[in-house]
Amino acid sequence: MKLLIVGGGGREHAIAWKAAQSPKVEKIYCAPGNAGIGTCAECVDIGVMEFDKLAAFAREKEIDLAVIGMDDPLVGGIVDVFEAAGIRVFGPRKNAAVLEGSKAFSKDLMKKYGIPTAAYENFDDPEKALSYLETASMPIVLKADGLALGKGVLICNTLEEAKEGVKSIMMDKKFGSAGNQMVIEEFMTGREVSVLSFVDGKTIRTMTSAQDHKRASDGDQGLNTGGMGTFSPSPFYTDEVDAFCKQYIYQKTVDAMAAEGRPFKGIIFFGLMLTEKGPRVLEYNARFGDPEAQVVLPRMKNDIVEVFEACIDGTLDQIELEFEDNAAVCVVLASEGYPVSYEKGKEIRGLDAFQGKEGYYVFHAASRYEDGKLLTNGGRVLGVTATGADLKEARAHAYEAVKWVDFSNKYCRSDIGKAIDEV
């Protein structure tokens, strides 16, 4: 089979690396890809939002399966364009990707079908939002409705802050049209867990759990980022939590989407908070997490291409997912200054050390070649993943491998996976 993967980050590198192990796969293309992805796929210089060009490329190369890694093209309707062009594609159609694309939609869905989440109100008028805040208790959470690069959520401790937040989202349009509508919701506390799943429209199969570290600095301090590291499994995702989510969240979400005439095929990523009152859905995403994929996929035993095909064909009920009985930790190596301002184009050295070392992986988030040199090309540069018998060992291995790699403005957190010591 010939595959086309759409995206160019660490997540897509992990997907390409995993798909390359399938005996069914003879060739992988990735658009636009990056230097690391180029080791297991041929990179194609087409942007992820250039749907017609991508479809024409897929037709020309007789692609058997396209896999969409990223949220923007999914929410923009790339799957519908590919299907209309007769290309077999893994991912939700536009009418289902709205589960991630509109927070107002997902909150209304959860309310209508009784799926546990934070109490909330939707607003499309900033004046109404401001007057609602007058009677609300603090802290409170403001969310821009649309995609905002993971930055559209504001946690406000005072009424003043919340009013400023409403102004910046809805009036100053800090997140662009994503702020045409907004959700104001109850502030919850608890551990966060990510559970990714494959869905074929009716059947859902959850993967092993993971946890992200979103803040830039140690001790979960500093600015929010796309994710500075992950670990899997989460020790807080107990059998009891799993049973609760199976009963009240996972299948209910899939059934709700089908009942709304929006059957979901692809990945549903459940962002959960384990509150004192039980697990609650914080958010849904319609794709693999980045860097969650970098710890979940190295632990997955199945042929991922078979699972992609089962989702498309509606035969996921015939597949059981299997994961190694081990643990994985991914430490993101970023450019100093990320997520605000940072330099690019620094030479990356030391990746040869990963050659032939089982259980050690380096997934590229932003790298490129110039004159034969491998250079940094963004804020998050590499994800160094290592496995181990348990989380402690996986963390020790990951930080050992972090030392092998060097670039002049290399920055990483030193406490990825550390929450596990408290268990």
Contacting residues toward ligand AMP, per CB under 6 A: 118, 141, 143, 153, 155, 185-188, 192, 271, 282-283
Q: Could you tell me the smallest distance in angstroms from the CB atom of residue 230 to ligand AMP?
A: 13
Q: Beta strands 42-43 and 27-32: pairing type?
A: parallel
Q: Distance (Å, rounded) from C-alpha 237 to C-alpha 323?
A: 15
User: What is the amino acid identity at position 169?
Assistant: I
Q: Could you tell me the smallest distance in angstroms from the CB atom of residue 153 to ligand AMP?
A: 4
Query: Could you say which of ligand GLY, ligand AMP, none residue 32 binds, taking C-beta under 5 to 8 angstroms by partner kind?
Result: none
Q: Distance (Å, rounded) from C-alpha 365 to C-alpha 9?
A: 4
Q: Could you tell me the smallest distance in angstroms from the CB atom of residue 11 to ligand GLY?
A: 7
Q: Does 185 bind ligand GLY (CB under 6 A)?
A: no
Query: Could you say which of ligand GLY, ligand AMP, none residue 289 binds, taking C-beta under 5 to 8 angstroms by partner kind?
Result: ligand GLY
- For residue 42, the cross-strand partners are 29
Burial of 266 (0-12, 13-18, 19+ CB in 10 A): buried
Q: Distance (Å, rounded) from C-alpha 67 to C-alpha 8?
A: 12
Q: Distance (Å, rounded) from C-alpha 376 to C-alpha 346?
A: 5
Residues 219-238 that bind ligand GLY (CB under 6 A): 227
Residues 238-297 that bind ligand GLY (CB under 6 A): 285, 289-290, 292
How far is CA 322 from each of CA 206, 241, 301, 302, 359, rounded to the nearest angstrom? 10, 19, 5, 6, 17
Q: Could you tell me the smallest distance in angstroms from the CB atom of residue 163 to ligand AMP?
A: 18
Burial of 182 (0-12, 13-18, 19+ CB in 10 A): buried
Query: Could you say which of ligand AMP, ligand GLY, none residue 185 binds, taking C-beta under 5 to 8 angstroms by partner kind?
Result: ligand AMP
Query: Could you say which of ligand GLY, ligand AMP, none residue 20 binds, taking C-beta under 5 to 8 angstroms by partner kind?
Result: none
The length of the chain is 423
Position with the least CB separation from ligand GLY = 289
Q: Does 335 bind ligand GLY (CB under 6 A)?
A: no
Query: Could you say which of ligand GLY, ligand AMP, none residue 312 binds, taking C-beta under 5 to 8 angstroms by partner kind?
Result: none
Name which of 295 and 362 has its Cβ closer to ligand AMP: 295
Query: Could you say which of ligand AMP, ligand GLY, none residue 290 binds, taking C-beta under 5 to 8 angstroms by partner kind?
Result: ligand GLY
Q: Does 100 bind ligand GLY (CB under 6 A)?
A: no
Residue in this structure with the two tokens 């939609």, named with its chain if needed: 105
Q: Distance (Å, rounded) from C-alpha 320 to C-alpha 401?
A: 32
Q: Could you tell me the smallest distance in angstroms from the CB atom of residue 212 to ligand AMP?
A: 8
Which residues are at the interface with ligand GLY (CB under 6 A)? 150, 212, 227, 285, 289-290, 292
